[in-house]
Structure 1
Amino acid sequence: MRRVVITGQGAISALGRGADAALAAMRDGLSGIGELDFRDVDRLSIRIGGQVRDYDPAAHFSRQEITLYDPFTQFALIAAEEAIAQSGVTLDEATAPRAGVVLGNSGGGLQTIDENYRTVYEEAKNRVHPFVIPRLMNNAAASHISMKHGAQGPTFTVSTACASSNHAMGQAFEMIRSGVADVMVTGGSESMLVFGGIKAWEGLRVMSKDGCRPFSKTRNGMVQGEGAAIFVFEEYERATARGAEILAEVVGFAMSSDASDIVMPNRDGAVRAMKGALAAAGLNGDEVGYINAHGTGTAANDRTECAAVRDVFGDHADRLMISSTKSMHGHLIGGTGAVEMLACIMAVKDGIVAPTINYEEPDPDCDLDVVPNEARQADVQVALTNAFAFGGLNAVLAIRKAP
């Protein structure tokens, strides 16, 4: 099996434009969550989210492109441009067929759907724009990145709710490791902060009206976010031969299905995914220094995840750092694992562990070191990132400090 490294990263989210802005906000424990601003928000009971503020599509795209790209595609293209530029990867006639794009996304072009439902049902119009289907399809972002950068290899979208990005990055990792590809652009994107999107989530009664407080006894639900994070995964020998800076090495991936409930988390499924990632990486539990938790801020998820961590790591669980950056950027659903990978890279590369902000009161059911409220300096050799999705679909990645 070949080794896989990360040579580029890019992002846009409520924490700012660019990966550096997101990491600076994580280091400083800054929240990007605030009052939502879109049409009919006053009809919602949930009015907060991790929205990308002061965003002007015209600053990034032509009028024709804006007509073709839903915001989730726009975010993915912006983040991919940054990641590919940082990596220094160039694709020519020889290398392009062995470079692909695998992205995670759950809602597709939900803003496009929302706008056109209004057109047809509220305004009673009988025609919609001819690009509605190309804008809303879940694979639009992956396809446009492939076209813009000339990646002719395996390209597709993974849609597994909140685990989409981790599943996508895991597939990219496996493709390079097994020799199917040499370079993969991967990560995830989501833009569900529209009236219809929030109204649908309100029905589940898992949303907080006042903030995301993972692991705190006072937690009362999740807060949605939007944006994208994209990475360049590359075969190790290829990256070193061209003198690329290596941000981290991807060393393990595993996935599991709870096969039990469509919305309630299951400890056994989470345990199998974490154990599987460790086994795939050839790691012992005590080699892991940090876990970026799924940590949604709901009562059931946080309690179940902490119990699973204790099952997997035993006594070492008391020495682990585990934090949820959703407290800062919100839950990006299909894009969330990608933004959280930024925090894992920061931990192993820079020795800075992002905090769980808004932590108010200890919960006996979440009695781990959740890095409350302030970032921490630490020598982290290995980090895990957890994603446990509705539908009982779990995906865990392990990364290691750059060789």
Structure 2
Amino acid sequence: MNGVVVTGLGVVSPHGDDAQAMFSALMRGESAVQPIFPELPRPAAAAAAAFDETRWFNKLQLAGVDRVSQLAVAAADLALRDAGGLGDADRERVGVYAGCGMGGAAALDTAYRSAGRVPPLTIPAFMPNAPASHVAMRQGIKGPVITYSVACASSAVAIAEAAKAIRNGEVDVAIAGGSEALLVPGVVLAWQAMMTLANFQPGEAALACRPFANDRSGFVLGEGAAFLVLESSERAQARQARTYARLSGWGMSCDATHLTKPDAGGQQRALNAALRTAGLQPADVGYCNAHGTATKIGDGVEAEALRGAWGKAIDALQVSSTKALHGHLLGAAGALEAVVTVLAVHHRQVPPNAHCGSPDTALGLNLVLQPGTAVPGLRAAISSSFAFGGTNSALLFERA
């Protein structure tokens, strides 16, 4: 069995396309959430990714390429550059493992509004596996190219599956992550209809998402892409690559109870599995980048799962949800938050649980309430992703 390490990070996020700068902004508690679509019947807020597609595509290449695929190509390319490229790697021994929850929302929205003149490339533009395929074509990847569409757990599952492939010797290098670009009016209206999006007063959109707070009212949508370059520790050592962290544990489970209502037992099984795979005890893990959607039910269930998994060690586990600052990227959430968790371990700093002026003390969590929190002894951290449909995924990273 091979050890799995992270040697490259790439993001196109609401805080920009530099992973280190994004992490610094999160450490300062800077929100990228803004009001969107003023024409909608009810106010909405989201965190959009600032993105210049002309850095990666010319006009001809953009034909039939939805924004969700554009973001993926850019983030994967940035991750590979950060890792020093693929070098002489056998492209048949390199894989792309990508998560995407909703596919090309913009292409589908355009088709619905087309008055019968549907663009001929609508189908390949909105299919959920298009981002992974475009990454493979851009980088010449000829190994497994697989898409995981598991709602909010999509890219976390993709990263776990990539790690398994490296551990088992199926591939030498994996480009693993996900992308999501669903900030179109129809999708926002659909989420509003579910009554899951945060309420906010005029001028206060940036503070709308308040995970684990007494006054939490839901999440805000975000868009972007994030990819990690994973490879065996032996290969990384042989090429003297910089290593951010080890991906030492992962766990997956299903609630098998309800499509949208989370279950603490299911979540706890995923957390326990990640600890077990890594061979760690709860007390070894000092930080959790929580799923933390800021819904009344969701945060309570997650807190119960964490308390169940950590037991007496729960008070020493520092917890925050960065969704307060970058929004909920759905299919790309797990990947973006994995990047944040890797950098937390790498720098031994943990981002704040922002906008939580009045924490819900009944949850029993040790929330990170101050920006710029350093944790000199941080050895390991976990990132959790819990999806509609009942799939739960947890990724555990250790210092290299």
- 2:53 and 2:134 mapped to 1: Cα distance? 16
For residue 53 of structure 2, the aligned residue among 34, 48, 57 is 57
Aligned counterpart, 2:138: 148
What does 1:122-137 align with in structure 2 at a 5 Å threshold? 124-125=115-116, 127-137=117-127
* Cα deviation, residue 354, structure 1: 0.8
* Cα deviation, residue 375, structure 1: 3.1
Quick one: which amino acid aligns to residue 239 of structure 1?
A: A
* Cα deviation, residue 346, structure 1: 1.6
Aligned counterpart, 2:205: none
Moved over 6 A (4+): none
- 2:151 and 2:87 mapped to 1: Cα distance? 31
- 2:370 and 2:30 mapped to 1: Cα distance? 10
* Cα deviation, residue 17, structure 1: 2.1
* Cα deviation, residue 294, structure 1: 0.3
- 2:152 and 2:228 mapped to 1: Cα distance? 18
Matched, 1:191 2:181: yes
Quick one: which amino acid aligns to residue 23 of structure 1?
A: F
For residue 329 of structure 1, the aligned residue among 326, 329, 344 is 326
Aligned counterpart, 2:69: 73
Aligned counterpart, 2:113: 118
- 2:56 and 2:386 mapped to 1: Cα distance? 33
For residue 384 of structure 1, the aligned residue among 366, 382, 392 is 382
What does 1:4-403 align with in structure 2 at a 5 Å threshold? 4-37=4-37, 41-53=38-50, 55-90=51-86, 92=88, 95-119=90-114, 124-125=115-116, 127-210=117-200, 211-378=208-375, 379-402=377-400
* Cα deviation, residue 59, structure 1: 4.0
- 1:59 and 1:252 mapped to 2: Cα distance? 35
Q: Indicate conservation of the 8 Å contact 2:317/2:366, yes or no.
A: yes
* Cα deviation, residue 91, structure 1: 5.1
- 1:182 and 1:58 mapped to 2: Cα distance? 31
* Cα deviation, residue 131, structure 1: 1.4
Q: Indicate conservation of the 8 Å contact 1:261/1:391, yes or no.
A: yes
Summarize deviations over 1:200-243 as a string: whole Å, max 9, x none.
Answer: 11111011132100000010011110001111000110111011
Q: Indicate conservation of the 8 Å contact 1:252/1:278, yes or no.
A: yes
- 2:10 and 2:87 mapped to 1: Cα distance? 18
SS of equivalent residue, structure 1 residue 42 = coil
* Cα deviation, residue 362, structure 1: 2.1
Quick one: which amino acid aligns to residue 14 of structure 2?
A: A
* Cα deviation, residue 68, structure 1: 2.6
Q: Indicate conservation of the 8 Å contact 2:35/2:43, yes or no.
A: no
- 1:367 and 1:36 mapped to 2: Cα distance? 34
- TM-score normalised to structure 2 length: 0.96
Which ranges of structure 2 fall in alignment gaps of 5 or more residues? 201-207
**CA distance 1:105–1:240, change in 2 (3 Å):** same
**CA distance 1:224–1:44, change in 2 (3 Å):** farther
* Cα deviation, residue 304, structure 1: 0.7
* Cα deviation, residue 339, structure 1: 0.8
Q: Indicate conservation of the 8 Å contact 1:46/1:208, yes or no.
A: no
Which ranges of structure 1 fall in alignment gaps of 5 or more residues? none
CA RMSD of aligned residues (A): 1.2
SS of equivalent residue, structure 1 residue 347 = helix
Quick one: which amino acid aligns to residue 90 of structure 2?
A: T
* Cα deviation, residue 373, structure 1: 4.3
* Cα deviation, residue 20, structure 1: 2.0
| Greater Cα offset, 152-161 or 19-28 | 19-28
* Cα deviation, residue 16, structure 1: 1.5
- 1:90 and 1:302 mapped to 2: Cα distance? 40
- TM-score normalised to structure 1 length: 0.95
* Cα deviation, residue 88, structure 1: 1.2
